[in-house]
Amino acid sequence: MLTKKTATGIGVGVLVIGLGSFFLVQSLLSNENTVNDTVDTGKSDIFQFDAQKHFHEVLNVTGSSFHVKLVTPSNGLQVDKDFESEISFDWVSLADGKHFINITNTGGSPLRVTGNLEAVQDPIIFATHVIVITSGILIIGFSAAFSLRKPRGF
């Protein structure tokens, strides 16, 4: 027979495992980041991410005038110049590696930056989800131990 504390602990543990598993699967499946930013006059917007070969990237910038520095790995897209009105970048990664994008507003009105950037997830995020799942397993284990033998002080 399960006590109230044991049943509550098992329920909480199952909930923690379920949430951790859901977010782990979600982070593994989704690698696309939607960009929708506004950059004020004189400010910069910086994107730095890792992408694998054949990832498709799209970035649109609209404003009066701006400077774009875009560096991709290998012999991919390399841009370092000023633009006016709007520009659209659409490229596919030629090699695995770090992408760097710096957009500086040099005009008199705010910039609008939109697009979709595919990036490899940070390994720390994966480890965090695994730790949450492990915590849920530990909660269930301690709760089950309470039903077998009640420790002193409880």
Q: At what angle do helices 4-29 and 123-148 cross, to 10 degrees?
A: 160
Q: Which residues pair with 88 in a beta bridge?
A: 60
Q: Which residues pair with 43 in a beta bridge?
A: none
- First-to-final CA distance of the chain: 17
139/31: higher pLDDT: 139
> pLDDT value at position 154?
59
Instruction: Take residue 120 and report the two structure tokens written for it.
Output: 């490899």
- To which H or E segment does residue 11 belong? helix 4-29
Question: Quick one: 31 exposed, middle or buried, by C-beta within 10 A (0-12, 13-18, 19+)?
Answer: middle
pLDDT score of 146 more than 80 = no
> pLDDT value at position 150?
65
pLDDT score of 104 more than 80 = yes
pTM (predicted TM-score):
0.65
In the chain, domain spans: 1-30+121-148, 32-120
**Could you read off the pLDDT of 55-103 as tens digits, one per residue?**
889 999 999 999 999 999 888 889 999 999 899 999 988 888 899 999 9
Please give the class, per CATH, of domain 32-120: mainly beta
